[in-house]
């Protein structure tokens, strides 16, 4: 079993522990090790989801009679 690793966050420079359990989880799914601490990961995720807003733009769609109606997603 792997030992816990101390990593440095690339955003804030804080040190954080990458546990052996997390290492196994990442390895099983073939993920690369994290480069941000948990707090910076949460902040980045929240920022990305807030920035994306409604990424699916509403566009008019023609109905069978030729008129426009809103497409529902």
Blockwise average pLDDT, block size 10, the chain, 73 residues: 92 97 96 96 91 60 61 57
Cβ atoms of 7 and 15 within 8 Å: the answer is: yes
Q: What is the pLDDT of residue 44?
A: 94
pTM: 0.62
The number of helix segments (H) and strand segments (E) in the chain equals 2, 4
Q: How far apart are CA 61 and CA 64, in angstroms?
A: 10
């Amino acid at each position: 079993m792997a030992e816990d690793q101390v990593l440095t966050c690339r955003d804030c420079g804080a040190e954080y522990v990458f546990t052996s359990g997390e290492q196994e989880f990442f390895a099983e799914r073939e993920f690369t090790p994290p480069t941000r601490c948990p707090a910076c990961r949460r902040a980045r995720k929240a920022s990305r989801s807030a920035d994306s807003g409604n990424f699916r733009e509403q566009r008019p769609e023609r109905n069978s009679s030729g008129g426009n109606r809103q497409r529902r997603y």
